[in-house]
Amino acid sequence: MNPQYICIHHSLTKDGTVVDWEAIRKYHREVNGWSDIGYHYGIERVGQGTLLQVGRPESQPGAHCKEMHMNSKSIGICVVGNFDLAPPGLEVLRFLSEIVRRKVMEYGIPVQAVLGHREVGAMAGFDWKKGQYKSCPGKYFPMDTLRSLLSGELKFT
Ligand SMILES: [Zn+2]
């Protein structure tokens, strides 16, 4: 795969003190019947720390967003949590932006091509605010803040 986009998701599960990543993998394998977890990477708070979880190899297309052929054109990153309820914490956002920054640089992906799942839906003509699409990566997930962090317009102090 030669990724031109990065697609950000949330898991819709409550992030807690235990590792949820393997439970998501199990669900994707056993319930969805996929060969592996649908995402390439995951970001998960476990206890006091934030971890990078590894999903499918980047050489393989993902199973995270059908619209705009995103599965074969993007790296899918899932932030564990439900951001329909509240925004991700600063630590998680900081961690995510560092991971995404590495991929943006590695593949020469423009910051504008770092998209939330719902933004891909909007490109395909579906309005999540009208209930035509998922709100993923969550109503409160600050995609503009993430892109500002990546473009250097905004910095963590
Ligand atoms: Zn999603």
Q: What is the pLDDT of residues 48-80, one digit of tens each?
A: 889 999 999 999 999 999 999 999 999 999 999
Q: From the CA of 85, how far away is ligand 1's center (Å)? A: 15
Interval between CA 44 and ligand 1 midpoint (Å): 15
CB-based neighbours (< 5 A) of ligand 1, an ion: 9, 117, 136
Nearest to 137 by CA among 32, 24, 3, 12: 12
The Å distance, Cα 19 to ligand 1 centre, comes to: 19
Whole-number Å distance between alpha carbons of 95 and 43: 8
Q: How far is the CA of 48 from the centre of ligand 1 (A)?
A: 25
CA of 64 to the centre of ligand 1 (A): 6
Tell me the CA–centroid distance for residue 156 and ligand 1, in Å. 26
Q: Which amino acid is at 142?
A: P
Residue 154 has pLDDT above 80, yes or no: no
Q: What pLDDT is stored for residue 121 in this prediction?
A: 98
| 138: nearest Cα among 99, 91, 80 | 80
Alpha carbon of 82 to ligand 1 centroid (Å) = 11
**Res 129 pLDDT > 90:** yes
What is the model's pTM?
A: 0.94
CA of 136 to the centre of ligand 1 (A): 5
Reply yes or no on whether the pLDDT at 17 is more than 70: no
Domains of the chain from N-terminus onward: 5-151 (3.40.80.10)
Ligand 1 centroid to 138 CA: how many Å? 9
Burial 113-125 (b: 16+ CB within 10 A, else e): bbbbbbbbbbeee
Q: For residue range 77-124, list pLDDT tens digits in order.
A: 999 999 999 999 989 999 999 999 999 999 999 999 999 999 999 999
Please state, rounded to an integer, the average pLDDT across all residues of the chain: 93
Which distant-in-sequence residues (6+ apart) come within 8 Å of 142 by Cβ?
A: 87, 93
